[in-house]
Amino acid sequence: MEDWFNRKIKPMLAVRGKPFSSDDYIYEIKWDGTRCIAFVDVGKKRLRLQNRRLIEIAYRYPELDFFDFESQNAVLDGEIVVFHNGKPSFPLLQQRDHVDSRLKIEILSKRIPAVYIAFDVLYTASDGWIMNLPLVERKKILDELAEEARRVTKSEFIEGAGVEFYRKAIEMGLEGVMAKRKNSTYQPGKRSAAWVKMKKRKTLDCIIVGWLEGEGVREGKFGSLVLALKSGDKLVHVGQVGTGFESDFIDWFYEKLKEIEISKPWFEAEFKRRVHWVKPVYVCEVEFLEVTEDGKLRAPVFLRLRDDKGPDECTVEGLYGLVD
């Protein structure tokens, strides 16, 4: 018998696009969360949560009541989200993402609890693997297995009216909308044009390759982070980000950066202050206004670390809006 519970699955990914309407697509909210595949064994009360990098993260979210949500064993695709005033919160999610202490996890699970929003199902005990079924059929199966739970729910969707749905989502202060072709199969690890993300903000995931020494209140810490993208085997400089950090994050992340400091520079560039280079381990998401003519990000703002994304996924193609 196949060991469905321990299978490694990379989630299907979307391309970026502009708002559109089509009767061939369904539309759902794009949640600002941590993407992960959920392996739920209802009978044995076992749970695995696997992020995009195939790292197990279930231990961080003990409050997620999957065994109440599912009527049978299943593998789901969805997002872990932390809400504040009815909307997803980046800063609060960040607090949950970087905690390993059992005591802190227990405290945070009560103080800022997360929700898992399921938008796809890849396997059920009764149907087996269903990734080759059309999306609309997988959605029906998800409806059938879903039951009332406090911290796990399913993503609602509409058909056809994508432009209007996107407009309303942005008015509500949400990140954007996902458009998914009704007859699309699930393609693990593939970035497919069958799924289109329509986002208000220009954001990019970048590799952190160094830091500039801070001044004033940040003296003795980092003032800004040096950002890069991969181009073949090389790292290409795309600028620095010095805003968007919370003070607690600066203190915590500065210690992490010192652990991976190296002496050899990644590229030649002029900096106003001393640069400390680091191994290309961490990925962060930044918001920016535009890309300048020399390939730098204009007015970038730090949004969050991306524990679920590896440096190899951050390429120069993303700089020009081809992928995200």
Identify the pLDDT of residue 4: 95
pLDDT tens profile 207-239: 999 999 888 888 888 999 999 999 988 999 999
Identify the pLDDT of residue 211: 93
Average pLDDT over residues 96-103: 86
For residue 50 the two structure tokens come to: 């696997």
What is the distance between the alpha carbons of residues 165 and 163, in angstroms, rounded to a whole number?
A: 5
Of 99 and 198, which is predicted with more confidence?
198
pLDDT tens profile 262-292: 998 898 887 878 899 999 999 999 988 788 8
DSSP assignment of 83-106, as one string? EETTEE-HHHHHHHHT---HHHHH
Residue position matching structure tokens 């209802």 = 42
CATH class of 203-320: mainly beta
pLDDT higher than 70, residue 250: yes
pLDDT tens profile 11-59: 999 988 889 999 999 999 999 889 999 999 999 999 999 999 899 999 9
CATH topology of domain 4-199: D-amino Acid Aminotransferase; Chain A, domain 1 (3.30.470)
Closest CA to 48 of 168, 166, 57, 231: 57
Average pLDDT over residues 298-319: 88
pLDDT higher than 70, residue 320: no
Average pLDDT over residues 188-204: 90
Q: In the structure, what pLDDT confidence band is assigned to residue 201 with cuts at 50, 70 and 90?
A: confident
DSSP assignment of 201-216, as one string? S-EEEEEEEEEEEP-G
What are the sequence ranges of the domains in the chain? 4-199, 203-320
pLDDT higher than 50, residue 132: yes
pLDDT higher than 70, residue 2: no
pLDDT higher than 60, residue 322: no
Q: In the structure, what pLDDT confidence band is assigned to residue 324 with cuts at 50, 70 and 90?
A: very low
